[in-house]
Structure formats: structure tokens, C-alpha cells
Homo-oligomer: A and B are copies of this chain.
């Protein structure tokens, strides 16, 4: 018997759309023990929130997020509003005893992240942070390959997150589509928006980061707001860093929105003694794998088309050779969350995991500022 779970979602921008889609689809494609009910969605502007609610079949539209947090019938609060609102909402939702799903980055700084994590852990309720890329089937397959011991001792981890949408000086600062360029709202630039994805994936696949050494840059410092007023850009366009992992391997990371021609190149390569893997989100249905254990004359990088029934999540979708895409990662994540909830297991990454990523992000920014190697802050257990 499938039980219902009432969801209240705060925020209805790009991520609100992706999450709404996931709530509608999870029971169509997965046999999970719970059925999310799209109860209420909150936004600041009445009209657009109501239009969103109609389009996505949310039962109610609210203009005050507190109505959602306080509603007794809401089981899950889903936070996908701008970064600078996460903390207050999460603290309130935790206090109200809700399960919480929160968009990444967790917080605008480590301090807020610690408060939030403490709060949700005190509440003892299930929680998850939407680092959706763990649920790209090819990345989950990478995790499986590593856990099967196919890479052996790891020497190198090499990650990029390259985009090019902010190169034009005409891209405005602020507002619904571009609050990510606004310091006060986003907290940080590509470190939190892009590098955070790289870091979450890296920690998942390669373990804790021991030290980082970073540089950041702002290539375009003068932009404009939508109303034409000047806006000084204060968030970093670029975030590159060297890293030492606790397992002895070395890492290089680079995140930018100034890599002309790269639209969503969230890539990583891991080089181990026995094998290597490579992934690129622009070809997210593929995983490249090199095995040193193949016969010498037959060794080569394999392009695994990650669409088979034997691949993570894919048996739930179509048939081999049929590609899935971006939004499926959210459905996969939600299915995992619901299954973990039933079993009483942590759905990863949860707030605690996201806090570890936040600590690395913060160390990266501090390193760039101080021009020195920084060890991420130790987190309370």
C-alpha cells in the first residue's frame, strides 16, 4: 500500500520546475512506498505563483513561505528559493518538525550551514540536499565501479564545471533569472553554484578533501541591473583550486562561466592504479572507463552507453539505447529518498554531507583570499 506524503515547496523558479516534475513522475516510473502529494507552493508574487501552481497542479499557492512551514498537513518542506533564504526557512521547518529537502548550495556560508545542520539533526527528521548529479546514472555507475575496486589506488582526481553564459557584459545582475550574480542573494559565485557540485561528487567518489589551494577571479566587474542602474559584480566568475585528498591522491578543480563553447561541462576524471573513469555532463548518458586489466593489445577507453537494464536507475525508464536526460536525476534522487525513508536510512547527500561540501567551498574561498593552502574546517560529529 502506497502512503501519501504532503509536500510544500518554497520557490518556483528553475528548480521548482525540476522538483515539481519529480513529484509527478516518481510513482509513474518507480515502485516506491510513498506517493508525494503536491500540496502547496510558495512564491513572493501572487500571480506568478498561482500560474505556476496551476501549471504544475499544486493544490495551493502561497505568498508567505511560513504558511507552508506551519501547515500541519505538510510532511515535507522542499526549499528551492534563493540561497540567502535557505537558513531561515530550514530553521523554521526543522523547528516545526518537517522533513526537509533543500537545494544546493546548502547555505551562503559555513556558519549558516552549521546552524541548519544542527537544527535538522536535532529534529531527527529525514532530510536531503539536492545534489542531483549523484543520480546521473553514469555517475552512479562510476561510484559502483569504484566500490567494486576496479580503479585500485587513486592517484588523480580532475574536475571541471565549465559554462559560458555570463561572458556577455549585457547579462544583467539580479532578478528572477540572474540572482546568482548578486552577492547578497547568492553568497558566492561559481564556487557555490558550480564547484559545489564538483566537490560533492568528488567527496562521494574519492573521499574527504584534506587541503586546498585556490585562485578566483572576476572577469567582468561592471554590469547593470534590469532597470539599467549599474551593478558592481562581487561574486567570483572563476574558481580553480588544487587539492590534496585524505586518501593521498591529488586533485585539480576548475569552475567558470567564461569557457566559451562549454555549456554544462561538469566533468571529472579519476586515475587509479588499475583503471580510470571519465565523465562529462554534456554527454551524460556515457561513462568512459579504461581498464588496465584488459589484455594489453585490447586496452582502450570504453564508452559505456549507460542505458542498459544493468545500469543504475535505468531499468525504471525505457529500454537499452533510450537516453534519459537532465530532469531524470531529480526523479532518481526522490525515489532514493522515499526508499531510504521507508528503511530508516540516511538519504545521501543529507545536510551533514552538504555541510562537508560547504566547508570545502569555504576553505577554497579563504585560500583564494589568503593565497595559501587551507584545511577545511573540522565539523562537529
A interface residues with partner B (beta carbon < 8 Å): 14, 18, 20-21, 24-25, 27-28, 55-56, 141, 144-145, 155-156, 158, 160, 162-165, 167, 213-215, 217, 219, 238, 240-242, 244, 250, 252, 254, 256, 258-265, 269, 271-276, 281-285, 287, 289-292, 294, 296-305, 307-308, 310-311, 317-328, 371-373
Contacts and interface: CB of A to CB of B under 8 A. Distances in A.
A271 B275 contact: no
A328 B319 CA distance: 15
A215 to B, nearest CB: 5
Which of A21, A310, A324, A325 is packed against the most chain B CB atoms within 10 Å? A325
8 smallest beta-carbon distances between A and B, as pairs:
A264-B321, A261-B290, A263-B321, A300-B302, A300-B304, A322-B326, A325-B325, A155-B258
17 contacts: A20-B28, A155-B256, A162-B271, A213-B213, A214-B242, A217-B250, A240-B252, A242-B242, A260-B292, A261-B276, A261-B290, A264-B307, A282-B305, A282-B321, A283-B285, A325-B328, A372-B372
B276 A156 contact: no
A163 B155 CA distance: 12
A27 B14 contact: no
A260 B273 contact: yes
B373 A371 contact: yes
A269 B265 CA distance: 13
Contacts of A250: 215, 217, 238, 240
Nearest to A215: B242
A18 B322 CA distance: 12
Given A27-B55, A250-B215, A271-B260, A297 B311 contact: yes
A196 to B, nearest CB: 17
B301 A302 contact: yes
A302 B298 contact: yes
Contacts of A252: 240, 252, 254
Contacts of A294: 302
Nearest to A163: B321
Contacts of A55: 27-28
Contacts of A163: 321
A306 to B, nearest CB: 9
Contacts of A271: 162, 164, 256, 258-262
Contact of A244 (B162, B215, B300, B321): B215
B296 A305 contact: no
Given A27-B55, A156-B258, A305-B300, A323 B320 contact: no
Given A297-B308, A322-B327, 5 more contacts: A144-B297, A156-B259, A261-B275, A263-B320, A264-B320
